Amino acid sequence: MSFRTLFTKGFALAQSGASTRHSKRASSLAKQAMSSFRSARSKKGDQKLDTMLDGLNYLSSSILEVSDSVTPIAKMNAVSALLAENIKEIIHEANNTKLKPIKK
């Protein structure tokens, strides 16, 4: 396996990890938002508004995390496409090497 292939696999795995971290963080923040909105139901006046604002802050942070997860996914897809192209080239070269002695 060539250095380039190892590099692309490692890079794809790193980007996958970054995407997973963003996703987990987004889920956690969304759950905190839901909790804030539920607890706001039982509160009155300014406490209710403050709790709802906290929920909106959690929700906006969750959306930001989802947005941040798109870049690692795009990079991972690009690297995977390059890896697939490299694999096709390796297979093509291997087939050509095997066929050359047969043609002689």
CATH code for the domain defined by 3-103: 1.10.287
Annotated domain spans of the chain: 3-103
Which pLDDT tens digits describe the chain residue by residue (104 residues)? 566 667 767 777 788 888 888 899 999 999 999 999 999 999 999 999 999 999 999 999 999 999 988 888 888 777 777 777 777 777 777 777 765 555 54
Angle, vertex CA 9, rays to CA 5 and CA 14, nearest 5? 145
User: CA–CA separation, 47 vs 45, rounded Å?
Assistant: 6
Predicted pLDDT of residue 26: 94
CA–CA gap between residue 85 and residue 78 (Å, rounded): 11
Query: From CA 55, how far away is CA 43, in angstroms rounded?
Result: 14
**What pLDDT is stored for residue 16 in this prediction?**
80
The distance of Cα 8 from the centroid of its chain, to the nearest Å, equals 16
Structure tokens at 41: 């139901």
pLDDT at 18: 84
pLDDT at 37: 95
